[in-house]
Chains A and B, each alone.
Chain A
Amino acid sequence: MTSDIHVALSGVTRVYPAHSGHGEMHALGPIDLSLRRGEFVGIVGPSGCGKSTLLEIIAGLAKPTKGTVMFEGAAVGNRVPDGVGVVFQEDASFPWLTVRDNVAFGLRSAGVDEAEINKRVDHAISFMGLSAFRKAYPSQLSGGMRQRVCIARTLVTRPRLILLDEPFGALDQQTRLLMGEELLRLWRETGATVVLITHALDEAAMLSDRVAVMSSRPGRFINILDTDWPHDRDSRIVADPRFGQFTSKLWEMIRDESKKAMGIQ
C-alpha cells in the first residue's frame, strides 16, 4: 500500500438553515480526515449523527456549508467525480431491468462500447456470484442478492473510491458476515479506497483498517482507531480475542454518545 493521500477532508461542516419555524441546525463537523490510497475506513456513530450526510458530501451528492473535500488532488464540487462509486442502504436495483442490465446500467449511461460492457459485466456478475441469475429480475432475488447486484453495478465502473452507506443494513446477521467477506475480496481485487458507513460496530471492526468514531449531533470524530488486521482477513477474524477487545473499545466510546442521541442521561 502506498501512503499518498487519496481523499482529504478539511473543516467539513454542514449546517441546515432555519425554515418553517425551526431554527438553524448544525448537523455535522467540522471534520478533518485523510484517507490513504487503498485504505479501508469504517465510520461508526450514533443514529442521526450525520454519517450519511458526510458520505454524501464526500461523494459530491451534497455540498458542505464550510470546508473542502479533495479527491485525487481535485476539489469535489457539486457533481460526483469520475472514479467514485457509491452503494446505498436502500435497494437501488431497478425492478424493470434484468440483473445483467442493472449491472450494465452505469456503463451504458457513460457510452462505453458494448464489447467492453459485456466483458466487465460478465466479470462483475461472476465475481458477485450472480451468474445463475443474470436474466432474472430483482423481484426474483433475495435482499442480499439485490444488494450484490448494486455492488456489481458499482464494481463495473472500476471505481478508485468506493463509498458504502450502510449497505448491509437491511440484511440478516449471517448474510451480513458473508457480504462483508465479499466486500473484503472486492477491496483486495480492485485496490480501491473504501469508506464504509455503518451502525454495526462488529461490521466496522471486522472490515476496516481504521475505524472513525463519531459523536452525537453535530457529528465530529471522537477518535480514529487502527485495527491492525492482516490485509487478507475474512469473517473468521470475529473469533480472534483482539476482535472482541476492539469492538468493546468502540462501544465504550460510542455508548455515551448514543445515550445522548437518544435523550437518555
Chain B
Amino acid sequence: MRSPAFWRIVILVIAVLTLEILCRTGIVDSYTMIPPSMMVVALVDMIRHADWFWADASYTFENIAVAITLSIVLGFVFGLVIHALPRFRRVLNPVLLSYYSVPTFVFYPLLIVIFGIGPTSLIVMGAMFGIVAMISSTLTAIDRIPRVYGKVARVAGMNTWQTALRIKLPAATPRLFSGLTLAVAYSVTGVIAAEFIIATAGLGRQLTLSYNEFDSATMYGLILLILIFAAVSNGLLQSWEARIYRRWYRS
C-alpha cells in the first residue's frame, strides 16, 4: 500500500498532464489558458529576462514577509492579552468568530486615505487578513496548555513575560500551527490581492497589467510563481509541525 503522499503526487501529475493535453489539442483555447509546460517556460523566461521582475518580486515578498511577521507576532501577543482578560474575551468573541465573514477589502479606500498608495497599505491589508486567525489559534492553544505548567512557573518565581515566552509560547507551539499556516496564507492573499487594486509595483500589479494586455505567458508565469511560493511555504510549515509532533508525542 503506497503512502497518501504518493497518491497526492500521482493525482497532481495526472491533473497537470490532462491540462497539458487539453491545451495542446486546442480543446482549451490558447487565449484562455496556455499549457503548463509553457507556464514553466514563461516563468523561467520572466525570471531571466524581464527587467521589472526582481524589483517587483522583492517588493511583493518583502511586503508579504512584513505582513506575515506582523500577523504572527501581534496575533500571538493580542491572543495572550485577550486570554488574560476573560471578560474582554467574552465581549470580543462574536467579533473574532464572525471576522472572516466581513469582506476586509471593503476597507481599501480607507487604507488609501490613511496610508496612501504604497507598501504600508498592502502590509496593513495583509496583516488584517492574517492576524485574527493567529489570535483565535493562540487563544485555543493557550486554553489547552496543562494548568500544571502555570503552577510550575509560579513555583519557579517567573513573572508574566517569562511565563509567556518560556512556557506559554513553547507549550502552545504545536497547536499554534493551524493559526500560523492560516496567517501565512491569508497574509499572502491579502498583500497580493491588495496589489491588484492599490499598488504601484509588485507581482499582483504585474499580474493585473499582463491580464489587461492579453499577455498570457506573463500572467500564467506569475500565477505559477505565486502557487509555488504558497505550496513551498505551506510545505515548510507542515514539515516543521510534523517534526515537533514527533518529538512531543513519540510514545
User: Which of A's residues lie within 8 Å of B, judged by CB?
Assistant: 59, 61, 79-80, 82, 84-86, 88, 90-92, 94-96, 105-106, 109-110, 137, 139-140
23 CB-based A-B contacts, threshold 8 Å: A79-B154, A79-B157, A80-B155, A85-B155, A86-B151, A90-B147, A91-B146, A92-B146, A92-B148, A92-B149, A92-B151, A94-B149, A94-B167, A95-B247, A95-B249, A96-B171, A96-B248, A105-B152, A105-B156, A137-B248, A139-B249, A139-B250, A139-B251
Q: B248 contacts A139, CB within 8 Å?
A: yes
Chain B, 194-251, CB within 8 A of any chain A CB? 244, 247-251
Q: B248 contacts A95, CB within 8 Å?
A: yes
Q: B173 contacts A59, CB within 8 Å?
A: no
Give Cα distance in the complex from A133 to B45, angstroms: 55
Q: B250 contacts A88, CB within 8 Å?
A: no
Q: B148 contacts A90, CB within 8 Å?
A: yes
Whole-angstrom distance from the CB of B243 to the nearest CB of chain A? Answer: 12
Whole-angstrom distance from the CB of B129 to the nearest CB of chain A? Answer: 29
Give Cα distance in the complex from A82 to B155, angstroms: 9
User: Which of chain A's residues have a CB closer than 8 A to the CB of B148?
Assistant: 88, 90-92
Give Cα distance in the complex from A84 to B156, angstroms: 9
Give Cα distance in the complex from A94 to B158, angstroms: 15
Q: For the A-B complex with A92-B151, A109-B156, A110-B157 known, give 16 more contacts whose Cβ atoms are closer than 8 Å.
A: A59-B155, A61-B154, A80-B155, A85-B155, A90-B146, A91-B148, A95-B248, A96-B247, A105-B152, A109-B158, A109-B162, A110-B156, A137-B247, A139-B247, A139-B248, A140-B250
Give Cα distance in the complex from A105 to B167, angstroms: 10
Give Cα distance in the complex from A160 to B77, angstroms: 37
User: Which of chain A's residues have a CB closer than 8 A to the CB of B248?
Assistant: 95-96, 137, 139
User: Which of chain B's residues have a CB closer than 8 A to the CB of A82?
Assistant: 157
Asked if B166 is at the interface of the complex by the 8 Å CB criterion, the answer is yes
Chain B, 134-168, CB within 8 A of any chain A CB? 146-149, 151-152, 154-158, 162, 166-167
Give Cα distance in the complex from A90 to B148, angstroms: 7
Asked if B116 is at the interface of the complex by the 8 Å CB criterion, the answer is no
Q: B155 contacts A96, CB within 8 Å?
A: no
**Max chain A C-beta neighbours (<10 A), residue from B155, B166, B247, B250:** B155
Known: A88-B148, A94-B171, A109-B166. A137 touches B250 (CB 8 A): yes
User: Which of chain A's residues have a CB closer than 8 A to the CB of B247?
Assistant: 95-96, 137, 139
Say what secondary structure dominates the interface of chain A. Answer: loop
Asked if B170 is at the interface of the complex by the 8 Å CB criterion, the answer is yes
Q: B157 contacts A109, CB within 8 Å?
A: yes
Whole-angstrom distance from the CB of A105 to the nearest CB of chain B? Answer: 7
The chain A residue with its CB closest to the CB of B149 is A92
Q: A106 contacts B156, CB within 8 Å?
A: yes
User: Which of chain A's residues have a CB closer than 8 A to the CB of B244?
Assistant: 96
Whole-angstrom distance from the CB of A78 to the nearest CB of chain B? Answer: 10
User: Which of chain B's residues have a CB closer than 8 A to the CB of A80?
Assistant: 154-155, 157
Give Cα distance in the complex from A86 to B157, angstroms: 12
User: Which of chain A's residues have a CB closer than 8 A to the CB of B173?
Assistant: 96
Give Cα distance in the complex from A137 to B152, angstroms: 18
Give Cα distance in the complex from A94 to B149, angstroms: 8
The chain A residue with its CB closest to the CB of B173 is A96
Give Cα distance in the complex from A61 to B157, angstroms: 11
Give Cα distance in the complex from A80 to B153, angstroms: 10
Q: A84 contacts B155, CB within 8 Å?
A: yes
**Closest 6 CB pairs between A and B?**
A139-B250, A90-B148, A95-B248, A96-B170, A109-B156, A106-B156
Give Cα distance in the complex from A109 to B157, angstroms: 8
Whole-angstrom distance from the CB of B92 to the nearest CB of chain A? Answer: 21
User: Which of chain A's residues have a CB closer than 8 A to the CB of B146?
Assistant: 90-92
Give Cα distance in the complex from A158 to B173, angstroms: 31
